[in-house]
């Protein structure tokens, strides 16, 4: 689809992207010059969904169509979804640990802060695991 060229400032305003971001996308080859509104909108939406720059580039390349485009785009999205779910699981674990540490702070004010003390304990445990792994 052919698009008319517009100024970078207008493009920035229409899409909510910063001018510096548009220029960066131009430098790395995601945005052709002159700028295209729908292409930047595509990039912006892909980035909002957490796709990496490489995944976004791949999806853009697939947008030209072809018999394998949909299947390949699905594979990119499926891989990304797996990464998102993994990060969500990690964040839930982090949330549980932080909530536990904060509850420890609610039980008074000992000479040592339970939150800070628990972070040192966690660090000691992690270092111990690393040492055990390197000894074998």
Task: Tell me the residue length of the chain.
Answer: 136
pLDDT of residue 102: 83
pLDDT of residue 20: 92
Three-class secondary structure of residue 34 per DSSP: coil
pLDDT of residue 1: 44
The rounded distance, in Å, linking the Cα atoms of 31 and 21 is 10
pLDDT of residue 136: 53
pLDDT of residue 135: 57
The sign of the torsion formed by the CA atoms of 32, 34, 36, 37 equals positive
Cβ burial 64-91 (10 Å sphere, 16+ → b, else e): eeeeeeeeeeeebeeebeeeeeeeeeee
Q: Is there a contact between 15 and 50 (Cβ–Cβ < 8 Å)?
A: no
User: Is pTM beyond 0.85 here?
Assistant: no
Q: What angle do CA 65, 69, 72 make, to 5 degrees?
A: 160
Q: Mind listing the pLDDT tens digit of every residue in the chain (136 residues)?
A: 445 567 888 888 888 889 998 888 888 888 876 567 788 889 999 999 999 999 999 999 998 887 789 999 999 999 999 999 999 999 999 999 889 888 877 776 666 777 788 888 888 888 887 777 765 5
pLDDT of residue 87: 96
Q: Where does residue 66 fall: left (phi above 0), alpha (psi -120 to 50 degrees), or beta otherwise?
A: left
CA distances for 131 relative to 118, 126, 127, angstroms = 20, 9, 6
The token pair that represents 103 in the structure block: 């509850």
């Amino acid at each position: 689809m052919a698009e008319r060229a517009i100024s970078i400032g207008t493009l920035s305003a229409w899409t909510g992207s910063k001018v510096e971001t548009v220029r960066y996308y131009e430098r790395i080859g995601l945005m052709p010059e002159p700028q295209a509104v729908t292409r930047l909108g595509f990039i912006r939406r892909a980035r909002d969904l957490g796709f990496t720059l490489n995944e976004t580039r791949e999806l853009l390349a697939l947008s030209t169509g072809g018999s394998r485009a949909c299947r390949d785009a699905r594979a990119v999205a499926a891989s990304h979804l797996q990464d998102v779910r993994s990060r969500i699981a990690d964040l839930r674990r982090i949330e549980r640990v932080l909530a536990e540490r904060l509850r420890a702070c609610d039980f008074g004010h000992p000479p040592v802060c339970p939150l800070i003390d628990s972070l040192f304990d966690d660090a000691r445990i992690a270092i111990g695991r690393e040492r055990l792994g390197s000894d074998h």
